[in-house]
Amino acid sequence: MSERKYFGTDGIRGHVGEGPITPEFMLHLGWAAGQAFKKDGQRNSVLIGKDTRLSGYMFESALEAGLSAAGVDVKLLGPMPTPAIAYLTRTFRASAGIVISASHNPHHDNGIKFFSAAGTKLDDALEAEIERWLDQPIKVCEPNELGKATRIDDAPGRYVEFCKSTVPNEFTLDGLHIVLDCAHGATYHVAPKVFRELGARITVIGAAPDGLNINLNVGSTHLDALKQTVAEKKADLGIAFDGDGDRVLMVDRDGSEVDGDELLYILAYQRQAEGRLKGGVVGTLMTNLGVELALRELGIQFERAKVGDRYVMERLLANNWVVGGEGSGHMVIRDCTSTGDGIVSALQVLLAVRNSGKTLSELRQGMSKLPQKMVNVRVAQRFDPFSRADIVEAVRQAEAGLGDAGRILLRASGTEPLIRVMAEGRDAAEITRVAEELARVVERSNP
């Protein structure tokens, strides 16, 4: 990804009004994407969805104009979860799907994610192709070849039915009281319908978007409101999505957080018990070592991919496996959908709860997370930390000190100007000390 000018780990992202997150760039990006996705001899179309950020209206119009100039039809979905665009891109047989979202970031950020015609994240080659077109000036096609724009009014209903179709017909949530936190984001109008129609009694928070409050003290990155509501309502569990709906975290009835690593373990454990696992499990470089050790005890293969749900998907496809995920709550379940989907993943966890006859809290007991310390070092410009000799030597010494009792990971964030420093092991105090010392080395090496 170091060769990319605009694309990061998950699309293009930044502060609204600052390059490249400007109307001018989005116009050019729409045209460039239209050129990259066009197939000769057929009428091409691209779907556009967005989360609830105020800036989404502005960028939607700019992308629409750029795609039209390239001779590509546009289907507008309005506010919809990111995985819904992946699903609808497939069902409408579109050339591609575009999501206007900055995921879990605050409202002043925004970004663009792309899906292929198959509903998967773009590979590096296609992202590079879009960037090559971005280097070319916009050339508007002939007036009679301009793309048309239409709005798909029944998109929410289509997606609600898809989500329900990923669990067996006899599956019901009757008797469960669930608190849903929609992060004032893209799931606000679909998630409550899904869980209510499956029989759950639901309490909803974070479902009043105003364009500025997305992810504000709610959602999967701010679980306090969910924990408090679960306790106040004496609910069975809580479910939190992020702003664009591709992540999910949970809270058990005792108010304890159940993160993506634990959800991954629960899905693998129960699917193996039911004979539905189909191979091993893919995590990422950031997945807690406790997951790997717990799966090893069960005889389940485990592989680490680069950070990003598209890389998890790549390894799942390569191995013909089904279940993968990240600690942040991106879960990829290939026999259900083609990308990370918060609602679908939550339903699969609830299916595991129902089939096992255990509570969420009981299911998570089979895995013990090892202490993990993450320090984010803000830098003027992202760089490869292992390109600096002083950092390499500091990591070597730290790894030698930990031996087989831990591991260290340094990586540049794909979406923010950060170097993430992570240490993990059995001794929490030692891990914290190692991570903080390495962070200071990175700070001194910051160009």
Which residues belong to the active site? Answer: 103
- CA gap 294, 62 in Å, rounded: 48
Map residue 430 onto helix, strand or coil. Answer: helix
Whole-angstrom CA distances from 440 to 386, 394, 424 are 15, 10, 17
**Residue 118 buriedness (CB in 10 A; 0-12 / 13-18 / 19+):** exposed
Evaluate whether 295 touches 268 at the Cβ level (below 8 Å). yes
Neighbours of 124 (CB within 10 A): 12
Q: Is residue 200 within 8 Å of 353, Cβ to Cβ?
A: no
Cα separation of 222 and 227, whole Å? 10
Closest CA to 29 of 75, 73, 61: 61
Contact 222, 210 (CB under 8 A): no
Write out the two tokens for 169.
């017909």
- The Cα–Cα gap between 337 and 386 comes to 36
- Please tell me the distance from the alpha carbon of residue 232 to that of residue 40, in angstroms, as a whole number: 58
Structural element, H or E, at residue 27? helix 23-37
Peptide bond into 20 cis (omega under 30): yes
Reduce the DSSP state of residue 47 to 3 states and report it: strand
**Backbone angle region of 165, left / alpha / beta, with phi > 0 → left and psi within -120 to 50 → alpha:** alpha
Q: Which DSSP state fits 18?
A: S
